[in-house]
Amino acid sequence: MNTSDLALIQDFANREIVKFHEARLRRLDRISLDDVLKRRNPYLFRARNLVTASELVSAILGAYLSSSEEECFGQFLESLAIYVSSLACDGRKSVAQGIDLEFDRDELHCAVAVESGPHCSNSLPIGKLEDNMMWLCDAIGLPHHSLSYSCMCSQGVYWLGAYRPRGD
Element of type H or E holding 104 = strand 101-105
**Which of 39 and 167 is assigned the larger pLDDT?**
39
Condensed to tens digits (0 to 9), the pLDDT of residues 101-133 reads 888 887 777 888 887 766 555 555 667 777 877
Query: What is the per-residue pLDDT for 140?
Result: 75
Please tell me which residue, 7 or 151, carries the higher pLDDT value: 7
Judge contact between 78 and 117, C-beta under 8 A.
Answer: no
Tens digit of each residue's pLDDT (9 = 90 or more) over 9-47: 999 999 999 998 898 888 888 888 777 777 677 777 778
Tell me the pTM: 0.70
Sign, CA torsion 66/68/72/74: positive
Asked whether the beta carbons of 71 and 104 are under 8 A apart, the reply is no
Q: End-to-end distance of the chain based on CA atoms, in angstroms? A: 35
How many C-beta atoms lie closer than 10 Å to residue 97's C-beta?
Answer: 10
Non-local CB neighbours of 39 within 8 Å, separated by 6+ positions: 64
CB 32 within 8 A of CB 39: no
Comparison of pLDDT for 158 and 28, the residue scoring more: 28
